[in-house]
Structure 1
Amino acid sequence: MTRRPIRALRGGAVALAVAVALTACVSIPTRGPVGEGVVEVNEPAPVTLLGYSPEQDASPMEIVQGFLNANAAGYSRETTADVSTTFSVAREYLSGEVRSTWNPNEQVIVYPTASSPEVTLLTETQVQVKVGVAARIDASGVYEESAPGSLQPLVFDLVKDSGGQWRISRLDNGVVLSEPNFELVFRQATIYFLSADNSHLVPETRWFPVRNLATSLVRALMEGPSPWLRDAVRTAVPDGVQLETGVVLVDADGTAEVSLSGAALGDAEDRARMLAQLEATLDIARVNSVEVLAGGVPLAWEPARLVRGSLPSDAALEVVQDDTLMALGRGELAPVAGVGPLTGLDVTATARNEAGSVRVVLSGGGTLVRAASGGGDEQLLEAAALAPPSVDRLGWVWTASAGPEGPVITAVRAGGAQQVVRADWLAGRTVHEVRVARDGTRVAVLSTDASGFSLDVAGVVRDQEGTPLQLGEPIATGATLTEASRVVWVDESTLGVLGKTAAATATTVYLVPLAGQTRALPALEGIVALAGGKGERALYVTTSEGELYVRSGPGWAFVADGVRAPSFPG
């Protein structure tokens, strides 16, 4: 999508234009001149799902089933923000006070395509619905994947109204949607906050209704990050700022108008950062540019230039071949300049920062060594069974080990500086890997305890000098996985995990979105290590036979053999 910078408004408020694209069937030409194809793809208008009013003399079970069928229509037909009047068709199935007090926005339960709700009549006036759960989405759009086989029982009480018609008198807040309907009326989108040092945009991915998506995103930005990320980031949006008109209007040309009011804005630098947050957050298909007013005055500042996204596409894969650290470039391996031989080091893992100024290797599984030229290697840390290292953008090298009172996550720097990173929620667990995101603000942690495996993502709380102090309370991801051995960042909001599910017979690579469903990649026998660059097509694996493969086409393509310990920056 071609994007234009944020600029001041030139006119008054713009109207929201919704275009519906109609596609006709045409034959495929077999002759004629070559013409230019479609150069820009626009997001289609939201799909309208129909809900139907209750039928006369419907039974309690039919009323409940009709209500469930009408749930999705509330997202596709309504535009009002008043929670007591949205979902007008679904509310026709409710009685008395419940008709106005039921809050459909409190929770969304998404059930798998292959699992229809099971409706049972418990008594003459009570119906139970058992629904499989693929995911739950809370009121702020936070997505939580559910473990396979998860079930949710829902109980509906019914009464007869003055006309002798059954209506629902008691029910839980929230709605129930099938996966296909959910994907039609909801959209995954990202809200961007700031790293503590104001250098990086930090993403938080959530799900919002497609209709009025731009408004939902800006409101979420103003409300701030979710609790798991709150202590690790900041925002340049001042407290008290609101949408002056209550909505973000997007015109037919894709220009979003954001009119702010309610509080004084910060200094010029923070205003530029706020504009950067708004522009990144509104980087959705129907928005090409953003125009901002604050208290009726156009904001003419350019957005701050902040780092956003996953690794750059030119980040090179590095592997160990014999006793040499090698970089992959143009399909060939060549020694990494400035790094001496790794003779005498039993290298099991390597890591570096983006600049390549900090390079470390894990030797024998228990010694962390900074690799340098001329054989001047520096031992940074030694402990039993150290986790594979990860190097953040500030030069801290992260690893984990077992301690007398539980796992110890340690960050070290050249010269001997060490910092134990507090993470109380890991008590009683064994940490197998810690992997820091490119922004240095989030960390993925693989751990196990007596109850099984966990893949968690937490915010990194640092002091003013950037020293990592503790991990915030985490969010759980990868609920369908039963075990895992390695984790990498595939992009800014997706993890790559080497693991298994209950239904799998062999270990393979899975894509695990922080807010979405886990997906298996094609199987490859004997995978033992994983490295992730920019996107799925920059995923590399090595096998127990020392073969290197890259994700390609419908499977994996062979690259080289005789290698181990693949890694990208991070």
Structure 2
Amino acid sequence: MNQRLCLAVVAILSSLSLAACTSLPTSSSPSPFDVDAPNAQPVDLAAGGPVADADPESLLSSFLLACAAGASDDYATARLFLTSSSAQTWDPHKLVTIYSTDSTPKVSYSFDPSKTDTLNASITATGVGSVDQNGVLSPAETSSLEARFHLVRENGQWRIDAPADGVVVSQASFTASHELVSLMFLSATGDSLIADPRWYPTRRVETHMLEGLIAGPQSHLSDALVNAIPSGTSISAGGIELSDHVAKVSLNGTLPSDDRGKQLMAWEISQTLQRSGRVNSVEINVGGEALPSSGLPSQPSFDLDSAVALNSNGLVRIDGRSVSTRILPITPSSSASLPAVSPVSSSLLAWREDDRLVLVDSSTNATRVVDGSEGQYSPSIDRFGWVWDIPRGGNLRASRIDGQNLAIASENQSLNGVSAVRVSPDGARALLLRQVGGSTSAWIAGIERRGSGEPIALTDPEPLAGLSTGVDDVSWAGRSTVVAVRQGGLRAGNDQMDEVSLVTVPVGGFPSVLALPTGTQRLSAGSSSATMVIRGKDGNYQVRSGALWQSLEGNLRDVNFPG
């Protein structure tokens, strides 16, 4: 049963939940840490219309409450606060500007004493980000946001005239009424579905997801992903019928010409709608013809929770608390460091020896040495067998054990200053550590590939929320979550922090921050943020074990999970 709560209550609940969080341990003794848990139920916000003879301050405050509740009533209440002409033209869906729940918006007014029926108001607050009409979240470009309003008297009552398209809401209100969901688009290789994250209103979320899927990938991924739904497809009048967790989808349009195309279309739609959390199975009808619901492709499998490391015996594999030495066609030299392993085959490995990159496939006994590898971070191996590193002179390089080397560039941006690259398990995205303006930040880019999986280029990198400065290391935790070690950062109110933080960022989502043990410099994660190893500046490692941080014994160095 939905709860109808006012914005003030949501803000209070949010602050209480933040206060209840515990910190990660700051010593080697085992201590509990927080684990994300899904919300039990969506919150349905509600707001009232304008009160007769309300003053400008009360009217504007009530309008903001109505905007926060707008996803529940399609902004019908919010329009009541506008002049009659503005109510017809205002587009609240164009942009949602989000401010920090921890900040208090400040309202200021200006007016001409000679004009008693008009005044201007502005609202400033700590900016978090914005979500466009396609559901794509962009981090705030500055720490402060400002919204301006023009108020006039209409029929003796104050009303807002000609507001900018879009709404301004707190993060607590936004996350109470919207969901972060994944639209699943086909990879260029045709063997995998890749998540394209979007924020949609919880109300009618399945319809929003299907509309977004038909429209295609967000613009910066359009060259990296493929839409299996033919152009010109639309949702029929019947739309989506949801009953007993079964979604019945009715579409207008032309079917793909072959059986493979029909399977891929059904796979894309089914996997997308099942990520709403309310759909277990999907039945699809296009122009009166049913798409297949069985025998659909399956996602590639990954082995992400077995790490590699070096010790006095050579290169070892770590499974939980078990450590075993790998039998390889060549033995790592005494200068070996920074090992990496494939996310799909434990036989493909790589490591650094001084400025050389060593590639080994234990299943075929093949080896290769690539000169000119630089930096303090391990290479990254993608699921197609390409080993990514930073070559002498900068930028990016991808190498294969069969002798191929590729220089990887971005479409429109220079990759100068990149110190590390981490390819996602599905091979669709790359995390980059970059030196920008004297500080290290984390960026994300899509990877364009040929049908064979060969990388062609990166899409233009975009900054990751919460990771614009002080980032020491970054890792994938599964296919679509990023974890990072950040030194310092900003509290609410822009106060500088000194502690070391674990920043967790779902791709397309908001960052969350927890404290890490003092001195933490490196991390690597497996299939989730619950499978993680951290290294302090003393060289010692700690791992997550259930609800604990525990020391990792065995004189290990350079521990890394696959990827």
- Counterparts in 2 of 1:526 and 1:363: CA distance versus 1, 3 Å: farther
Task: Output the CA distance in 2 between the equivalents of 1:424 and 1:305.
Answer: 31
Q: How does 1:512-531 map to 2 (within 5 A)?
A: 512-531=505-524
- Counterparts in 2 of 1:490 and 1:179: CA distance versus 1, 3 Å: same
Kindly indicate whether residue 139 of structure 2 is the aligned counterpart of residue 145 of structure 1: yes
Task: Name the count of aligned residue pairs.
Answer: 517
Task: Output the CA distance in 2 between the equivalents of 1:181 and 1:215.
Answer: 21
2:119 aligns with one of 121, 125, 128: 125
Task: Output the CA distance in 2 between the equivalents of 1:140 and 1:166.
Answer: 33
Deviation of 1:375 after TM superposition, in Å, equals: 9.8
2:398 aligns with one of 411, 414, 417: 411
Task: Output the CA distance in 1 between the equivalents of 2:375 and 2:445.
Answer: 23
Q: How does 1:262-411 map to 2 (within 5 A)?
A: 262-283=253-274, 284-302=276-294, 304-307=296-299, 311-312=302-303, 315-338=305-328, 340-364=330-354, 366-371=355-360, 377-385=367-375, 387-401=377-391, 403=393, 407-411=394-398
Deviation of 1:383 after TM superposition, in Å, equals: 4.1
1:541 aligns with one of 513, 529, 534: 534
Kindly indicate whether residue 487 of structure 2 is the aligned counterpart of residue 500 of structure 1: yes
Task: Output the CA distance in 1 between the equivalents of 2:411 and 2:376.
Answer: 19
Could you tell me which residue of structure 1 aligns to residue 211 of structure 2? 219
RMSD of aligned residue pairs (Cα, Å): 2.6
Could you tell me which residue of structure 2 aligns to residue 114 of structure 1? 102
Task: Output the CA distance in 1 between the equivalents of 2:337 and 2:315.
Answer: 10
Could you tell me which residue of structure 1 aligns to residue 414 of structure 2? 427
Deviation of 1:94 after TM superposition, in Å, equals: 0.6
Deviation of 1:385 after TM superposition, in Å, equals: 3.5
- Counterparts in 2 of 1:511 and 1:21: CA distance versus 1, 3 Å: closer
Deviation of 1:352 after TM superposition, in Å, equals: 3.1
Please give the secondary structure, in 1, of the residue aligned with 2:265. helix
- Counterparts in 2 of 1:508 and 1:339: CA distance versus 1, 3 Å: farther
- Counterparts in 2 of 1:242 and 1:440: CA distance versus 1, 3 Å: same
Kindly indicate whether residue 171 of structure 2 is the aligned counterpart of residue 179 of structure 1: yes
Question: Which sections of structure 1, spanning at least 5 residues, go unmatched?
Answer: 1-18, 23-40, 79-85
Could you tell me which residue of structure 1 aligns to residue 79 of structure 2? 91
Kindly indicate whether residue 59 of structure 2 is the aligned counterpart of residue 59 of structure 1: no
- Counterparts in 2 of 1:338 and 1:451: CA distance versus 1, 3 Å: closer
- Counterparts in 2 of 1:501 and 1:240: CA distance versus 1, 3 Å: farther
CA contact (8 A) 1:353 1:359 kept: no
1:105 aligns with one of 82, 93, 96: 93
Task: Output the CA distance in 2 between the equivalents of 1:267 and 1:533.
Answer: 38
Please give the secondary structure, in 1, of the residue aligned with 2:345. coil
CA contact (8 A) 2:372 2:392 kept: no
Deviation of 1:372 after TM superposition, in Å, equals: 5.9
Superimposed CA distance per residue, residues 331-353 of structure 1 (whole angstroms, 9 cap, x where no aligned partner): 12110233543133331343434
- Counterparts in 2 of 1:190 and 1:308: CA distance versus 1, 3 Å: farther
2:431 aligns with one of 441, 444, 450: 444
1:261 aligns with one of 252, 262, 279: 252
Which range moves more in the overlay, 193-202 or 293-302? 293-302
Kindly indicate whether residue 200 of structure 2 is the aligned counterpart of residue 208 of structure 1: yes
Deviation of 1:384 after TM superposition, in Å, equals: 4.4
- Counterparts in 2 of 1:451 and 1:565: CA distance versus 1, 3 Å: closer
CA contact (8 A) 2:479 2:527 kept: no
- Counterparts in 2 of 1:358 and 1:93: CA distance versus 1, 3 Å: same
Could you tell me which residue of structure 2 aligns to residue 7 of structure 1? none
CA contact (8 A) 1:137 1:143 kept: yes
CA contact (8 A) 1:61 1:120 kept: no
Deviation of 1:521 after TM superposition, in Å, equals: 3.7
Task: Output the CA distance in 2 between the equivalents of 1:179 and 1:399.
Answer: 37
Amino acid at match of 1:103: D
Which range moves more in the overlay, 233-242 or 551-560? 551-560
Deviation of 1:96 after TM superposition, in Å, equals: 3.0
Deviation of 1:186 after TM superposition, in Å, equals: 0.6
Please give the secondary structure, in 2, of the residue aligned with 1:560. coil
Deviation of 1:135 after TM superposition, in Å, equals: 2.2
Please give the secondary structure, in 1, of the residue aligned with 2:460. coil
Which range moves more in the overlay, 382-391 or 238-247? 382-391
Deviation of 1:235 after TM superposition, in Å, equals: 1.8
Could you tell me which residue of structure 2 aligns to residue 564 of structure 1? 557
Amino acid at match of 1:368: L
Deviation of 1:416 after TM superposition, in Å, equals: 2.4
Please give the secondary structure, in 2, of the residue aligned with 1:327. strand
Superimposed CA distance per residue, residues 408-448 of structure 1 (whole angstroms, 9 cap, x where no aligned partner): 21111113211101125542731111111111121111111
Amino acid at match of 1:98: S
2:44 aligns with one of 42, 48, 52: 48
Which range moves more in the overlay, 415-424 or 383-392? 383-392
2:463 aligns with one of 470, 473, 476: 476
- Counterparts in 2 of 1:426 and 1:346: CA distance versus 1, 3 Å: farther
Amino acid at match of 2:264: R
Deviation of 1:268 after TM superposition, in Å, equals: 1.0
CA contact (8 A) 1:353 1:395 kept: no
Task: Output the CA distance in 2 between the equivalents of 1:303 and 1:474.
Answer: 37
Deviation of 1:386 after TM superposition, in Å, equals: 7.2
- Counterparts in 2 of 1:501 and 1:275: CA distance versus 1, 3 Å: farther
Task: Output the CA distance in 2 between the equivalents of 1:151 and 1:388.
Answer: 37
Amino acid at match of 1:132: T
Could you tell me which residue of structure 1 aligns to residue 114 of structure 2? none
Please give the secondary structure, in 2, of the residue aligned with 1:415. coil
Which range moves more in the overlay, 128-137 or 207-216? 128-137
Deviation of 1:259 after TM superposition, in Å, equals: 0.5
Task: Output the CA distance in 1 between the equivalents of 2:367 and 2:132.
Answer: 50
Superimposed CA distance per residue, residues 327-380 of structure 1 (whole angstroms, 9 cap, x where no aligned partner): 12351211023354313333134343421232110123x211124669985312
Please give the secondary structure, in 2, of the residue aligned with 1:359. strand
Please give the secondary structure, in 2, of the residue aligned with 1:277. helix
CA contact (8 A) 2:2 2:44 kept: no
Task: Output the CA distance in 2 between the equivalents of 1:554 and 1:303.
Answer: 39
Could you tell me which residue of structure 1 aligns to residue 442 of structure 2? 455
Q: How does 1:69-80 map to 2 (within 5 A)?
A: 69-76=65-72, 78=73
Task: Output the CA distance in 2 between the equivalents of 1:382 and 1:496.
Answer: 28
TM-score, normalised by the number of residues in structure 1: 0.84
Task: Output the CA distance in 2 between the equivalents of 1:507 and 1:429.
Answer: 27
CA contact (8 A) 2:131 2:199 kept: yes
1:550 aligns with one of 526, 531, 543: 543
TM-score, normalised by the number of residues in structure 2: 0.85
Deviation of 1:173 after TM superposition, in Å, equals: 1.0
Amino acid at match of 1:512: V
Deviation of 1:509 after TM superposition, in Å, equals: 3.0
CA contact (8 A) 1:327 1:336 kept: yes
Task: Output the CA distance in 1 between the equivalents of 2:303 and 2:325.
Answer: 21
